[in-house]
Structure 1
Amino acid sequence: MLRIITLNLNGIRSAWRKGLLPWATAQNADFICVQELKAQHADLSEEMKAPDGFDAYYHCAAQKGYSGVGLWCRKKPDRVIDLLGSAEFDVEGRFLRADFGRLSVISLYQPSGSSSEQRQEAKFRFMAFIYPQLVELASSGRDVVVGGDWNIAHREIDLRNWRGNRNNSGFLPEERAWVSRLLDQGGWCDVFRDLHPTSTDDAYTWWSNRGQAWAKNVGWRLDYQLATPAIAARARSAEVFKEQRFSDHAPLTIDYDYDFDTASS
């Protein structure tokens, strides 16, 4: 069994203080994809750089206290790739890929456009830039899982107040159509939705810090594992963990009936 977890930390140092490491090491995960480190390498403690039981890799943003992604791997990868080839986005630390034989696991942090029109335009540029790369990956013949904060709720059942958010970043028609194109034409599968096609309230992975959103479960499903069809078909369970909070996002854990040791040998 292959277990992959994805979680936006909203600051690795903050999540660490809230008990991230003890929880993570108890999950028996093969990979943990983390996003929004809000830290640079110099800010990481030795424990963060070498969490118990994992080889840890980070792609930090050049800007302090901003963005950044990480991958914790149970086995040492054959190679790690942290560049997309974009001068604009590589400095923001939004992509990290680890290869193991025919398996690739990616931690991805798509920009949010909620803070300004300029950031929404940057988000659209990122989406346009990464789409052909994702299509190429899907057709490469490799087994690929992309765990990340996509900052898009794809369908109406993916957020509580969909009617009031139709003109807001994260639920714009262009964003939703982009996800649909990835799934319908780009060769990717939304693993959680394949397993839970009608799930609503228990599917949310992010809650605003405003208006008692967490207490009222007024959430959004922003954190996905997209996978290529062969490995997606092997997914057996998917769960959003809400018993303990490490950030404003919740971890998404998916188990695949997939022989990681054979694939990586």
Structure 2
Amino acid sequence: MRVINLTVNGIVDAAERGFFDWAATKDAEVIALQDVRCREYKIADDPAYQLPGYEAFFCEGEDEDYGGTAIYVRQTPKAIMRGLANYDLDKHGTLIQADYDEVSIASLWIPPGRDSEGLDLQWHFMETLNAHMGKVRRKRRLFIYAGNFQMAHQQRDLTDPDLHSNTLGFLPAQRDWMDELLSTTGYRDALREVSRDDGYHSWWPSHDDLGSKADPGAWRVDYQICSEQLAPKVLTASIYTERRFSDHAPVIVDYDLDL
């Protein structure tokens, strides 16, 4: 089973850059998109946003130009879940999940925290997500959370960790949160199950994103976080950088698992 995730920063713009033509050749079972910035009804019947053989499901944000997630699936899921049952978070369309017999796959977008209000919302989301992931872990099913976590976890996940040691997205408290998620909460970073190398980056921010840092550099903030039972089933993981569909790159993970 192949799962692909990409923060598109607007599905319309990504389509114009050729994302759907590229995705149609990748033989994925599930494609998870974040920050789609579009109303579903506007593109539902437009061939430019369709993938032959896939169904598409959306979780829209209240603000059409901000947030929203989508998931394209080859096999019809048993159920679709939208949100975390928290209005302050769900109004941004931050999560949509497809449930199958043994595995649930979610498209996840943590809101960016570029000001004090946004940072408060981001921390609220992180706390809520941590509690949710800890709770569902007790269910007899596997989980994959594919999306933009808005943070780099370790020094090897960005090009200049010393410069950004106190930059939002690489704050010590954020890295501690990810440490907890990937240890006591019982999940694994799929890419790191098959590679410990440096040089994996999925986001090329601008100065508008990070402030007046001399070099924003490249970051890995897009992940597939999976149940620890899935860790041995991760076959390959990569980040596709040959073409650019947004300022993020697609994450591609193959699992030894059938839906």
Query: 2: distance between equivalents of 1:105 and 1:232?
Result: 15
Aligned to 2:38: 39
Superposition misfits of 4+ residues, deviation over 3 angstroms: none
Q: Is the 8 A contact 1:4 1:32 kept in 2?
A: yes
Distance (Å, rounded) in 2 between the aligned partners of 1:52 and 1:259? 20
Alignment-derived partner of residue 212 in structure 2: none
Alignment size in residue pairs: 252
Instruction: Report the AA paired with residue 95 of structure 2.
Output: F
> How do 1:50-199 residues align onto structure 2 when only pairs under 5 Å count?
50-113=50-113, 115-197=114-196, 199=197
Supply the AA of the counterpart residue of 1:175: Q
Aligned to 1:208: 205
SS of alignment partner, residue 141 of structure 1: coil
Q: Which amino acid aligns with 2:13?
A: S
Separation in 1 of the partners of 2:241 and 2:184? 33
Question: In the TM superposition, what is the alpha-carbon distance from 1:217 to its structure 2 partner?
Answer: 9.8
2:182 match: secondary structure: helix
Aligned partners of 1:48 and 1:126: how far apart in 2? 33
Deviations 1:220-252 (A, max 9, x none): 000000001222210110111011110000000
CA contact (8 A) 1:145 1:226 kept: yes
> How far apart are 1:93 and its partner, in Å?
0.1
Find the aligned partners of 1:164 and 1:204 in 2 and give their Cα distance.
16
CA drift of 1:48 comes to: 5.9
Rounded to whole Å, the distance in 1 between the matches of 2:190 and 2:43 is: 32
Unaligned runs of 5+ in 1: 261-265
Aligned mates of 2:86, 2:49 — CA distance in 1 = 26
1:33 partner SS? strand
The one-letter code of the counterpart of 1:38 is: R
Q: Give, in whole Å, the separation in 1 of the partners of 2:236 and 2:178.
A: 22
State the 1:129 CA deviation: 1.2
- What TM-score do the two structures reach when normalised by structure 1? 0.91
- Distance in 2, matches of 1:101 and 1:190, equals 22
Structure 1 position 191, deviation (Å) = 0.8
The alignment-based identity, stated in percent, is 28
Aligned-residue offset at 1:50: 4.0
Note if contact 1:112-1:169 (Cα within 8 Å) is conserved in structure 2.
no
* Alignment partner, residue 263 of structure 1: none
Q: What is the CA–CA distance in structure 2 between the aligned matches of 1:194 and 1:217, rounded to whole Å?
A: 27
Deviation track 1:71-94 (CA, whole Å, cap 9, x = no partner) reads 000101110000211010111000
Find the residue that maps to 1:129 and give its secondary structure: helix
Aligned partner of 2:211 in structure 1 is: none
Query: In the TM superposition, what is the alpha-carbon distance from 1:103 to its structure 2 partner?
Result: 1.1
Any idea what SS the aligned residue of 1:184 has? coil
Q: Using the alignment, how far apart are the partners of 2:170 and 2:217 within structure 1?
A: 15
How far, CA to CA, are the matches of 1:45 and 1:81 in structure 2? 19
How do residues 1-40 of structure 1 correspond to structure 2 at under 5 angstroms? 2-40=1-39
Give me the whole-angstrom Cα distance separating, in 1, the residues matched to 2:231 and 2:25. 24
Q: Read off the aligned partner of 2:188 and give its amino acid letter.
A: C
Describe the shift of the 1:189–1:205 C-alpha distance in structure 2 as closer, same or farther (beyond 3 A).
same
Aligned CA-pair RMSD: 1.6
Gaps of 5+ in 2: 209-214
Check if 1:236 corresponds to 2:231: no
The Cα shift of 1:143 comes to 1.3
Q: Contact between 2:235 and 2:256, CA under 8 Å: does it hold in 1?
A: yes
How far 1:41 moved relative to its partner?
Answer: 2.0
- Give the superposition deviation at 1:164: 1.4
1:146 and 1:48 mapped to 2: Cα distance?
Answer: 26
Superposition deviation, residue 5 in structure 1:
0.4
Q: TM-score with structure 2 length normalisation?
A: 0.93
Report SS of the residue matched to 1:7.
strand
